[in-house]
Structure 1
Amino acid sequence: MQYISTPHQAELNAAERMKAWGFADAVATTGGSDGGVDVRSRDALAQVKFKGAVAGRPEMQQLYGAAAGGSQRLFFFSASGYSDQAIQYADQVGILLMTYDPLGEVDGVNQAAKRFLADVSVSPAAVEAPTDWKLVCALTAILIVVLSVTILLWWP
């Protein structure tokens, strides 16, 4: 992971995290007025605060307003943390508050974010893949036939 040293790198990090969480179409916005949204996905929006003071309630309200009553999940990523008023407001309207370190590691701040991260942190290896039993049976039958024919042809 590259050391995050610019606002754009922070936005790219947030977009990559969101992709890893299942928002495959997450894209960091580039340049210009973003209207409070730095990462967009069909199912999620995110604001990313790179440095400076803690994020406050006005930034939460801006992100919430950018969603305009849509059904998208709302994320706020901050390197500097959140004011108490920001956390209270985020809890009221359902914004998931995340902090990130200079290496891009993300932690949940409010309970909604912590629950979300716990849900998405299930290792892919721990999730059992579905088995296509018809395919398994068909391949087993083919193997039995091939072995039987081979034995009959080579048996003295």
Structure 2
Amino acid sequence: MICYQLLCEHDHEFEAWFRDSTAFDEQAAHGEVQCPFCGNDQIRKAVMSPAVASAKDVQVRTSADQKTAIEAAEKAASDMRSGADPQEAAQTFMEVVSKLQKHVENTCDYVGEDFAEEARAIHSGDAEMRDIYGEATSEETEELRDEGIEVISIPKLADKEQAN
């Protein structure tokens, strides 16, 4: 997976994750990447510096759940290019996000509102290296990224059973 800093033609800056650079190129060419601020689909990569870590600093773990989520997202994008019903594609997307949310909840340690502090402690080696999730403000998330700490935001979906 690769995270790109992106710009729309109105210079709104945002980031998005892609399987690889080819996936970004294909999705952008088909208008599938849209600005979350204005909905514009004329998207380009922003200038960004790479984050380089040694093998001892980072363990890369790709679970079966992550692979399944990536494959489902790619299938949804392919279906959209082939003229699939947008409602069905949206449903597929929601199912993928739900699976990813469950994967995070099942495999990561929940640290609640202490997320930013715990992420810093792990990054600096003051806490055990492990995957965590919790709550952080947009300011805390931006500060972590400025400090070179990789974080991603996953929307919290309501459990269908809880929503009914």
- TM-score normalized by structure 1? 0.26
Decide which structure has the larger Cα Rg and report it.
Answer: 1
Greater RCO between the two (CA within 8 Å, min separation 6)?
A: 1
- TM-score normalized by structure 2? 0.25
